Amino acid sequence: MFRKLITALPLAAALALPAVAQEFPDRALRIVHGFGAGGNADTVSRIMAEEMSKTLGQPVVVESRPGAGGTVASGYVSKEDPDGYTMQLMVGGHAVAAALYNSLPYESVDGFTFISTLGQFPFMVAARSGEYDSIGALIEAAKASPGSVKIGHSGVGSTQHLTGELLALRTGAEFLHIPYKGGAAASTALMGGEVDVVIDTGTVIRPQAEAGVYDILAITSGERWPDAPDVPTVSETVADGFDVVSWTGIGMPAGVPDDIADKIRGAVHDALAVPAVSDKIASLGAKPSPSSGEDMTALIEGQVAVWTDVIATAGIEKR
């Protein structure tokens, strides 16, 4: 036993030495995310990994740990070593989960070191072309005959669903919310006439709008969106102060040393400054939005508060 230890010691020292001597990072990094291979989160992770591996000089590997709306991955990441080698690609659902789940195996805000948001994107309220003149007309129709206007959404507890509930709360209109498995299925139902409205991201809505199949009635961001300046906001038309913007961002386990967090943040911001990267983020319907860790923390805290309120008021079953 002792002899084994003696022989192992120099080996361990040899292994440990370069870690001390060399600068961070000296081995491969990971971006973990909580969604299926090929989803939006996966794509954004791969775009970032590709570019960040150039700046950091080490390979960046993407790891998909799907399950329970991303909470499996968040639980996993928050318990990893805060050594800077494990990153998580987070989405707006991180804030939703904090409000939706009775108990989570992690602290949604304190369990993480937030690095930077990557992209922010609004949702679009769409109907079949010619059905409603405006968002005002839609709300009027829903008020005139409560429960007759059907909103298709991408799943119970999705940000899309909660945005629809929030729209109902703030306008006093009553909708029938119909769950589908994903935005594409909801969009198909809108095309086929099964539902009247779909609230989803630009990637789902805009191709159909450009082909004249849908009208975009309104956008959910507080201000008009630079990418679609002609579309009125919900806030300026039917619900003053309405502001729903979802996001993607990078987080790490709580307790990452500041210098390492800054280095990662630098690499993230550098990547977002590369036109090829920001173009791709933009093509996915998002506005590239490098931020500080404090801004990202504040964004998440604000959204947790809003969604907690919506879930309680709309009577959505907590998990």
Minimum Å gap between C-beta 204 and other proteins is: 9
Minimum Å gap between C-beta 272 and other proteins is: 16
Question: Using CA atoms, how far apart are residues 261 and 256, in angstroms rounded to an integer?
Answer: 6
- Candidates 109, 141, 169, 176; binder of other proteins (CB under 8 A) is 176
- Candidates 43, 55, 297, 308; binder of other proteins (CB under 8 A) is 43
Cβ burial of 306 (10 Å; 0-12, 13-18, 19+) is: middle
Q: Which amino acid is at 307?
A: W
- Candidates 169, 254, 284, 298; binder of other proteins (CB under 8 A) is 284
Per the document, the length of the chain is 319
Q: Which amino acid is at 296?
A: M
User: How many Cα neighbours within 13 Å face the side chain of 54?
Assistant: 11
Structure tokens at 16: 């440990």
- Candidates 7, 130, 181, 275; binder of other proteins (CB under 8 A) is 181
- Candidates 29, 42, 200, 235; binder of other proteins (CB under 8 A) is 42
Q: How many residues bind other proteins (CB under 8 A)?
A: 57
For residue 59, state whether it binds other proteins (rule: CB under 8 A): no
For residue 283, state whether it binds other proteins (rule: CB under 8 A): yes
Q: What is the CA radius of gyration of the chain?
A: 22
Do 153 and 160 form a contact (C-beta atoms < 8 A)? yes
DSSP state of 70: G
- Residues lying near other proteins in the complex (CB under 8 A) are found at 36-40, 42-43, 46-47, 50, 63-69, 71-72, 75, 100, 105, 150, 155-157, 176, 178-182, 184-185, 187-189, 191-195, 203, 206-208, 210-211, 213, 276, 279-280, 283-284, 316-317, 319
